[in-house]
Amino acid sequence: MSAPAPTPARRVTDRPETSRLVSLLTGKEIVVCCGSGGVGKTSVAAALALAAAEQRDGKVLVLTVDPARRLATALGIEGIGNLERQVDPELLRAAGIDARAEVWAAMLDTKQSWDALVLRHAPDDQTAYRILHNRLYDNLTARFVQSHDYIAIERLFELHNEGKYDLIIVDTPPSRNAVDFLDAPSRMREFFGGRLLRWLTLPYRVGGGRGARVISVASRPFYQIADRLIGSRFLEEIANFFLNFQSMYDGFVTRANAVEQLLRDRRTTFAVVTTLEAAPLHEAEEFFTELAARRLQLGALVCNRVLPDYFVAPDALAAARDLDARADALGDEIAANDGGSVTELAASADVRRVLHTVATSFRDFSLVGAQEHQLRADLARVPDVTVTVPMRTADVSDVEGLAWIARRMLGRTEGDGDSATDATATGTPA
Amino acid sequence: MGPEPAWLEQRLLFFTGKGGTGKSTMAAATALLAARNGRRVLLVDVDSKGSSARLLEHAGVGYTPVDVQPGVRAMAMDTEKSLREYLKLQLKVPMVGRVGPVAHAFEFVATAAPGVKEILTIGKIAWEAREAIEGRADHDMVVVDAAASGHVVAQLSAPQTIRDLADVGPLRAQTDWMIDLLSDAAITSVNIVTTPEEMPVAETIELVDHIRNETQVHLGAVVVNRVLPELFTHRDEATFEALRKPDVAARLVAEVGSGVNAVLDGARLAVELRRARAEHLERLRETVALPLLYVPYQFGGGEGIRTTRRIAGALSDELGL
C-alpha cells in the first residue's frame, strides 16, 4: 500500500467495455464470479485478479473453490487448506503481467471452514466436541443443500472483515442452480432459526434426558412415521444432534444476516461467466433475473471460450466455399507449379484432399461461430460490461494461461509468448 | 473398444459426469436409441432441472411419467412425492391432511441424516427397475439422468448407508433387494459422461475410483462427448503447413480472395484444439480401464430433439447397432 497516488490505468484500449471493466476492478471490493458448471469460472476469476492487479494498488485475493490441480499448483495453493498465499511476483512478471498490486490466492476448504464456524459459535468446548464428533455432522456439512455455497460466502465475509485485501474475487462452487449461492444465507438462517428445528427437538426437551419417549402433541405424527421408517435409536441420535446444534443458533443467525448484507452491499458486484452455448447461457440469463429480483448488482458478463470472429466473416466464408468448389483444380495447379515447397511432400491428390479438408473444417466451425453470434444477439438483457475471452487451444493451467485471459479481458493481445495458442492473433478481423 | 453389447439390454442405466459435459443429453439420447431398438424406456431426471424435457422437446415433466417421444416416458424425481408414495404403498400410512408438517419435518431430517434423501431417490428408481424386470410396468428399462459427480456416489451407495445406520425399521429391510438389484452387472450400470478436457477428465478419473471403492454398482462405459474430428494424417498436416507458407498462401489469396487466410487459420485452430484434447483422452484411456464411447462434436448442433437424435445415431454407430 506504499504506492504513490494512483496512476491512470495503463495499456488498456479505449473500448468502453474494457474501461468499465477496469472501473469495476478498481472501484469494488468484492467481485463474485457465478455461472454454470464447465464454463471456466475458476480461470476467469483468477484471471480477473491478475487483470485487477495491473490496474490498481494494494492486495488482490482470488478465493477459488475447486481449482484444477495444475492450476492450484501454479498458484501455490495446492494442499494448504484454507491458507492464503501470495502468487510469486516473478511468475506474474514472467507471464507479462505488470502488477501494481500483490496477487494472493486461497482455496476453500469446506470441512475446515465448517469446523472453524462450529468452534466459534458453540457455547463451550464440550458442545463443540459433541457436534464435531457426531456422525451426522460430516454428512450435514458435506451434503446440506448449499452447504458449500454458504461456507464460501462465510469465508468471503471473514476475509473481507479482516480488511487485509483491497479486492477479493470469489469463484463460486458448482451448484445445481447458480442462484443457490444467493439464497445460501437465508436458507441457513431458516435452517437454524426455523420453528421446525425447535419443533423437532421439543420432545427431548420436554421429556428431559436421553431416550425419553415423552412426545409433544405437535410432533407425534412425525415421530410415529419416522420411528417406523428408520428406527428409534437413529431418530434419537438425530434429535440429540439438533439439540446440540441449536445452541449455536444465535451466533449462526447473526452471522448469516451479516453475510447476506455483504452480498447486497454496493461494494460487492457479480460477474456472470458463460460460454456462448445454449444451456450455460440459459442459466446466465436466469441468473440476471434472480440478481435483479434480489436487488443485487450485476457488474459484468464474461463470455468465455468464444470462437474467433473470422469464422463468421463474409469474405472468409466466401473463400471457404470457393476453396471447396475449386479444390481439385487448385490442388493440381499448386502441386504442379509451386517450386518445391509443397510438391516435395505431396502429390496433387494430397493437395486436393487437404484443401477440401481445410474448407470443410472452416465451414463446420463457421456453423458454431454463427450460432454463438446468434445466441449473443438473442440475449435479452446484458450488463453494461460484457467482455469476450476467445477460445484458447491450450489448457489454462498456469499463470501464463491466466495472464493470457487477463490481457484479453483488458483488450490487449501484445506480450504473448505463444501466439500459436491464440485463436485471434492471426485471424482476419470481421 | 465398446462396452459389452448387452449395454442397452440392461434394465437400469445411470448417467453421471461433471456439470456441462452433456450427461442429460447422453441419457436422453440413450433413451431414444433404446426406444428405436424396440425397448420401452422410462427416463428419470434426478436433478429435475427439466433438461430431459428440453432435450426431447416436451413442455414439462413431473413426478408422474408422461410420454415424451415414441417409446420414451419421462419423469422428474421428487423426494417428497417419493416418500408419500412409499408410505402409502409400503406402510399404509394415511398421509392426507397431515402431510404438510410431516413432509417439512421430513425434509429437515433428511437434510441432516445421511442417505435418507438419497434412498428415496434411489429407492424409487430401483423400484421402477424391479417393476420392469417383473413385467409389471409400462417400461422395460430405466435410464437415469443422475446427479453430477459430486453427489452420485452418495445416491448409489444409499442402500448400504441406510443399512449401516438404521438399526431396525422397514427402510433397512428394504435395502437388501435394492443392493442386489444395483450390484447386478447384468441389470445395472453407471456410465460417466465426460469431454476431452482437463477438468472433466480429472473428475472422471476420480469418480471412477469413488464408484469402484464406495459403491457396488458396475461401471459400464465412459462416454466421451464433443470429440473433435482428426483433420489430417501426419503427411497431410505437412502438406497443410506447406500451404500456409507465404508464397503458396499468396497464390491461394490471388485465386479465392484474402478471406482464405482466415480459412487457413481456422483449420490450424481446429488442428490445435484436437491436439490439446488428444492428450487428455490418452490419459483417460490409460487410467480408467473402461470401455470408451466416442461421440463427435456436433457442429452448430444447438440443443433440442434434432441434436439428441444425432447423438443417439452416433452412440448407435459406436455400439455397432
pLDDT, mean of residues A386-391? 92
Q: What are phi and psi of B41, to 5 degrees?
A: -115, 140
pLDDT, mean of residues A319-333? 93
pLDDT, mean of residues A315-344? 85
Q: Which residue of B has its CA nearest to A39?
A: B20
Please compute, for residue A372, the number of CA atoms within 13 A of its CA located in the half-sphere on the CB side.
Answer: 23
Element at B156 (helix H, strand E)? helix B149-156
CA-angle at B257, arms to B256 and B261, nearest 5°? 100
A168 pLDDT more than 60: yes
Q: Which residue of B has its CA nearest to A371?
A: B300
Distance, in Å, from the CA atom of A224 to the CA atom of A387, rounded to the nearest integer, reads 57
Q: How many CB pairs under 8 A join A and B?
A: 257
pLDDT at residue B110, as a whole number: 65
A307 pLDDT more than 50: yes
Contacts of B266 in chain A (CB under 8 A): 308, 310-311, 316, 320, 358, 361-362, 365-366
Q: Would the CB atoms of B272 and A362 count as touching at under 8 Å? A: no
Distance, in Å, from the CA atom of B3 to the CA atom of A430, rounded to the nearest integer, reads 45
Q: Would the CB atoms of B248 and A191 count as touching at under 8 Å? A: no
A422 pLDDT more than 70: no
| Better pLDDT: A176 or A250 | A250
Q: How confident is the model at residue B112 (pLDDT cuts 50, 70, 90)?
A: low
pLDDT, mean of residues B255-273? 95
CB-nearest to B263 from A225, A280, A320 is A320
| Better pLDDT: A89 or A222 | A89
Q: How confident is the model at residue B291 (pLDDT cuts 50, 70, 90)?
A: very high
Contacts of A144 in chain B (CB under 8 A): 111-112
pLDDT at residue A314, as a whole number: 96
- Angle of helix A327-337 versus helix A314-325 axis, rounded to 10: 80
The single residue listed with the C-alpha cell 469402484 is B212
Q: How confident is the model at residue A144 (pLDDT cuts 50, 70, 90)?
A: low
A207 pLDDT more than 50: no
B67 pLDDT more than 70: yes
Distance, in Å, from the CA atom of B198 to the CA atom of A242, rounded to the nearest integer, reads 41
Grid cell for residue A198:
425447535
Contact A122, A131 (CB under 8 A): yes
Element at A408 (helix H, strand E)? helix A399-409
Distance, in Å, from the CA atom of B276 to the CA atom of B273, rounded to the nearest integer, reads 5
Least confident segment among A229-238, B95-104, B139-148:
B95-104
A231 pLDDT more than 80: no
pLDDT at residue A245, as a whole number: 77
pLDDT in tens, B204-254: 999 999 999 999 999 999 999 999 999 999 989 999 999 999 988 999 999
pLDDT at residue B36, as a whole number: 94
pLDDT in tens, B143-172: 999 988 878 998 999 888 888 776 666 667
Q: Which residue of B has its CA nearest to A423?
A: B269
Least confident segment among A71-80, A135-144, A378-387, A388-397:
A135-144
The average confidence (pLDDT) of chain A is 81
Distance, in Å, from the CA atom of A197 to the CA atom of B109, rounded to the nearest integer, reads 9
Contacts of B198 in chain A (CB under 8 A): 68, 70, 395, 397
pLDDT, mean of residues A90-109? 94
Nearest CA to A301 out of A34, A37, A15 is that of A34
pLDDT at residue A4, as a whole number: 47
Residues in Cβ contact with B226 at an 8 Å cutoff, skipping those fewer than 6 apart: B22, B195, B196, B295, B296, B297, B298
Q: Give the three-state DSSP class for B212.
A: helix
A364 pLDDT more than 90: yes
Element at B16 (helix H, strand E)? strand B12-17
Least confident segment among A123-127, A269-273, B140-144:
A123-127
**A213-222, B163-172, B312-321 — most confident range:** B312-321
Least confident segment among A49-58, A140-149, A377-386, B100-109:
B100-109
361-420 in chain A: CB under 8 A from chain B: 361-362, 364-368, 370-371, 391, 393-395, 397, 420
**A241-250, A379-388, B88-97 — most confident range:** A379-388
Whether the CB of B233 is below 8 Å from some CB of chain A: the reply is no
Distance, in Å, from the CA atom of A404 to the CA atom of A370, rounded to the nearest integer, reads 25
Least confident segment among A31-45, A331-345, B99-113:
B99-113
pLDDT, mean of residues B88-113? 60
pLDDT at residue A153, as a whole number: 87
Least confident segment among A4-18, A57-71, A275-289:
A4-18
| Better pLDDT: A256 or A51 | A51
| Better pLDDT: B257 or A70 | B257
The average confidence (pLDDT) of chain B is 87
Contacts of A226 in chain B (CB under 8 A): 105-106, 109
pLDDT at residue B169, as a whole number: 66
A243 pLDDT more than 80: no
Whether the CB of A222 is below 8 Å from some CB of chain B: the reply is yes
Residues in Cβ contact with A158 at an 8 Å cutoff, skipping those fewer than 6 apart: none
Whether the CB of A136 is below 8 Å from some CB of chain B: the reply is yes
pLDDT, mean of residues B10-17? 96
Can you say how many angstroms the Cα of residue A23 is from the centroid of all Cα atoms in its chain? 20
pLDDT, mean of residues B291-309? 90
B115 pLDDT more than 90: no
Q: How confident is the model at residue A182 (pLDDT cuts 50, 70, 90)?
A: confident
Q: Would the CB atoms of A346 and B273 count as touching at under 8 Å? A: no
pLDDT, mean of residues A48-66? 94
> How much of chain A exceeds pLDDT 70, in percent?
77
pLDDT, mean of residues A188-201? 65
92-151 in chain B: CB under 8 A from chain A: 93, 98, 101-102, 104-106, 108-109, 111-114, 116, 148, 150-151
pLDDT at residue A177, as a whole number: 66
Can you say how many angstroms the Cα of residue A359 is from the centroid of all Cα atoms in its chain? 36
Q: How confident is the model at residue B280 (pLDDT cuts 50, 70, 90)?
A: very high
The full 3-state SS of A9-57, as one line of letters, equals CCCCCCCHHHHHHHHHHHHCCEEEEECCCCCCHHHHHHHHHHHHHHHCC
pLDDT, mean of residues B103-109? 62
| Better pLDDT: B95 or A99 | A99
Whether the CB of B305 is below 8 Å from some CB of chain A: the reply is no
What number of other Cβ atoms are within 10 A of residue B275's Cβ? 14
Helices (H), A122-248: 125-132, 135-143, 147-162, 180-193, 195-207, 220-230, 232-246
pLDDT at residue A199, as a whole number: 60
pLDDT in tens, A12-42: 455 666 778 999 999 999 999 998 888 999 9
